[in-house]
């Protein structure tokens, strides 16, 4: 990481000297086609520049990080209460883009623009890992690392769409969940996650294909792919925004929740810690169907092996049975 200290000592934000207790980090993108951090530093280091002040800029030409405020200074970057809690860092943007309204832009050299965006992304990962270590922050903690866009959704920042608008417009495939994962890996060297058992049906939304991975993190081994519109049976949700998906007869894999809409949410079945009598003997008229359903992964028992054959069935459970039957027939 190439970190250069270049404080904006003339900016009113710096001279006010207000301090914060750092509770999080906010990632920004400058919103104009200017790759040079030095241009912003020159313009903002002025006593009359009272509209903004951030803790750092990341140069898009070479990935150099310029620290422009002490990390525990209160910045003017979020346009809301995030100024009181979060360090704000701006990523510079490629010179070959042209804004045409709002967050929409055109690009005259996609390869060059992507190279610039990758340099700022990689440098931001290193910087945020450093800051998480410095301030004992968990990069996967709720609200610890956020984009300006996410800050707005949380009600702690003004209405901006950065930096996701840039990543999406360039087709980089970057997401904030992926960014947080990368910061975690840079900080710890190994990714560990926790899971909550769920029972969802989801639909895939991608322009091409969605990778199924062995672990819930970008860069993990790819074990399969989903097409746009595929439906999936989700059996667990991770603490970093991924889903574990069940593939009857083929085990499980992980997909990013950024590309899945959950259409049916059912709470995980709660199993009481008491001995239960198993209801696994079907009536004669249903025996053939029950045996087929069990054999083909349509009907599962609970963790005690209880099929509960005479229990009522909700509409959601019925849809899950139909979905599993459909998958079994397709096989």
* pLDDT winner (highest mean) among 72-86, 181-195, 255-269: 72-86
More confident residue, 75 or 323: 75
Pinpoint the alpha helices (H) of 23-102: 37-44
Hey, what domains does the chain have and what are their CATH numbers? 3-188 (3.40.80.10), 195-266 (2.30.30.40), 284-330 (no CATH)
The pLDDT tens digits of the residues spanning 34-81 come to: 999 999 999 999 999 999 999 999 999 999 999 999 999 999 999 999
Instruction: Give the model's pLDDT for residue 269.
Output: 44
The pLDDT tens digits of the residues spanning 128-137 come to: 999 999 999 9
Q: How confident is the model at residue 273 (pLDDT cuts 50, 70, 90)?
A: very low
CA atoms within 13 A on the CB side of 1: 19
Which pTM was predicted?
Answer: 0.64
Local structure of 71: helix, strand or coil: coil
Instruction: Report whether 323 contacts 201 (CB < 8 A).
Output: yes
Instruction: Report whether 116 contacts 196 (CB < 8 A).
Output: no
State yes or no: pLDDT of 274 exceeds 70: no
Q: b or e along 252-276 (b: 16 or more beta carbons within 10 Å of the residue's beta carbon)? A: bbbbbbebbeeebeeeeeeeeeeee
Work out the average pLDDT over 244-252: 84
Bridge partner list, 265: 200
Compute how many other C-beta atoms are within 10 angstroms of the C-beta atom of residue 6. Answer: 17
| Percent of the chain topping pLDDT 90 | 63
- Give the Cα separation of 145 and 67 in Å (integer): 18
* The two three-digit tokens of residue 174, written as one number: 């970057």
* pLDDT winner (highest mean) among 33-37, 132-136, 183-187, 199-203: 33-37
Q: How confident is the model at residue 266 (pLDDT cuts 50, 70, 90)?
A: low
Compute how many other C-beta atoms are within 10 angstroms of the C-beta atom of residue 282. Answer: 17
- Give the Cα separation of 255 and 204 in Å (integer): 9
Q: How confident is the model at residue 275 (pLDDT cuts 50, 70, 90)?
A: very low
Instruction: Give the model's pLDDT for residue 283.
Output: 72
């Amino acid at each position: 990481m190439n970190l250069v200290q270049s404080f904006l000592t003339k900016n009113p934000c710096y001279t006010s000297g207000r301090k914060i207790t750092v509770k999080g980090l906010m990632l920004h993108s400058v919103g104009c086609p200017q790759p040079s951090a030095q241009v912003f530093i020159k313009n903002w280091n002025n006593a009359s520049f009272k509209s903004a002040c951030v803790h750092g800029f990341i140069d898009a030409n070479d990935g150099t990080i310029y620290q422009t405020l002490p990390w525990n200074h209160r910045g003017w970057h979020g346009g809301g209460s995030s100024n009181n809690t979060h360090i704000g860092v701006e990523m510079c943007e490629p010179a070959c883009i042209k804004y045409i309204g709002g967050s929409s832009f055109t690009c005259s050299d996609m390869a060059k623009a992507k190279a610039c965006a990758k340099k700022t992304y990689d440098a931001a990962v290193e910087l945020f890992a450093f800051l998480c270590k410095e301030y004992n922050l968990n990069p996967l903690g709720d609200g610890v690392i956020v984009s300006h866009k996410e800050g707005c959704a949380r009600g702690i920042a003004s209405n901006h769409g950065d930096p996701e608008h840039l990543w999406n417009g360039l087709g980089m495939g970057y997401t904030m969940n992926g960014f947080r994962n990368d910061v975690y890996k840079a900080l710890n060297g190994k990714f560990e996650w926790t899971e909550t058992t769920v029972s969802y049906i989801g639909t895939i939304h991608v322009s091409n294909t969605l990778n199924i991975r062995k672990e819930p993190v970008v860069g993990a081994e790819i074990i399969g792919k989903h097409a746009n519109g595929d439906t999936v049976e989700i059996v667990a949700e991770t603490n970093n925004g991924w889903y574990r998906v069940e593939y009857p007869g083929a085990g499980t894999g992980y997909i990013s929740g950024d590309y899945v809409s959950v259409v049916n949410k059912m709470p995980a079945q709660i199993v009481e810690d008491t001995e239960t009598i198993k209801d696994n003997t079907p009536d004669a008229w249903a025996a053939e169907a029950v045996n087929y359903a069990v054999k083909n992964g349509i009907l599962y028992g609970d963790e005690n092996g209880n099929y509960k054959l005479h229990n009522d069935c909700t509409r959601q459970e019925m849809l899950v049975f139909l979905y599993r039957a459909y998958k079994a027939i397709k096989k």
